[in-house]
Structure 1
Amino acid sequence: MRYLTGSFALGALRRGRTIEQFLGAAGRPDRPGIRWVEVRPSASGYLIVLHTAEDVGGEHFHDLVEFPALDSDSEEEDFGQEIATAQDESAAMAIAEASTGAAPGRWVNAGIAQDDYLDFVRAGRPPHPPATEPHQAPSDRS
């Protein structure tokens, strides 16, 4: 299962792990980009960081942290805009969802948002954000 339940996402943060979520397309037609948000534990609580990168990936290159920043002239390896901090993990997730449009049921562990990006690529890079409900296996009603 790719997506974390709410309690698993909170538990990951409590254990000092970062969670993230792919948000979809960004930028302009002449300079396409993508966005993802992460909630990262820090010494002072939790940081909410929004990343906007050039959409330079594809089927065989989808490691989001390797993509260059969309609106940066610098060659920084670690980019992103810190949009807020929070003292507890629940507040951090709520702030991230309210300020970026992240969906409560689509949080993943660090490094897994690239799988949602790959789905985005395979779907033809739709201009709309990903579905708000995670993919669910059909139920067996026999």
Structure 2
Amino acid sequence: MRYLTRQFAIGALRRGNGIEQFLGGAEIDGEPAIRWVAISPMNRQYRISLHTVQDPDDDQVGDLANLISLNLVDEAYVGEGRELGLKEDEEEAISLAEHLMDARPDRWVNHAVAGEEYIDYVRARRDPARSR
């Protein structure tokens, strides 16, 4: 099972592990892009960040944080994403991310697993029968 229940997502954050959710494709200035939202523990708070990167359309690419960011002005470091907010409570951080980005409560995954969602997304795009 890839997706975390709400309690498992909260537990992951409490243990110091990040969670994330693949949001799908977008177009930024005419360029194909993909986006995901992440929640990362940071200094006794939880950082909610949006990542928007170029879509390489490659089902062999699963490490999304290493793709070329389209939010470079918002990132001090590669893969950092654009900060959407900080919360001290795990539940509040998840709720804020869901509210701001229309993230689904049933689609959170552990850190670095959103890449698997991207691979599925690319394969479904190539084979429309898979997305049914």
- TM-score of Structure 1 vs Structure 2, range by shorter chain: 0.7 to 0.9
The residue number in structure 1 matching 2:116 is 115
The residue number in structure 1 matching 2:17 is 17
Secondary structure at the aligned position of 2:72 is classed as coil
1:21-32 residue pairs with structure 2 within 5 A? 21-28=21-28, 30-32=30-32
The residue number in structure 1 matching 2:58 is 58
What count of residue pairs does the alignment treat as equivalent? 126
Task: Identify the structure with the greater helix proportion.
Answer: 2
Would the aligned equivalents of 1:57 and 1:67 in 2 still touch at CA under 8 Å?
Answer: no
Give the C-alpha shift of residue 19 in structure 1: 0.3
Give the C-alpha shift of residue 57 in structure 1: 4.2
Instruction: Measure the CA separation in 2 of the matches of 1:45 and 1:62.
Output: 27
Give the C-alpha shift of residue 94 in structure 1: 0.1
Structure number with larger C-alpha Rg: 1
1:29-108 residue pairs with structure 2 within 5 A? 30-72=30-72, 76-108=77-109
Give the C-alpha shift of residue 61 in structure 1: 1.9
The reply on whether 1:4 has 2:4 as its aligned counterpart is yes
- List alignment gaps of at least 5 residues for structure 2: none
Structure 1 runs of 4+ with >4 Å offset? 73-76
Instruction: Measure the CA separation in 1 of the matches of 2:77 and 2:56.
Output: 17
Would the aligned equivalents of 1:39 and 1:48 in 2 still touch at CA under 8 Å?
Answer: yes
Would the aligned equivalents of 1:69 and 1:79 in 2 still touch at CA under 8 Å?
Answer: no
Distance 1:68 1:19, change over 3 A: same
TM-score by length of 2: 0.87
Cα RMSD (Å): 2.1
Deviations along 1:73-120, one digit per CA (max 9) or x if unpaired, are 789423310001111000000000000111000000001001111111
Instruction: Measure the CA separation in 1 of the matches of 2:57 and 2:70.
Output: 13
Distance 1:28 1:5, change over 3 A: same
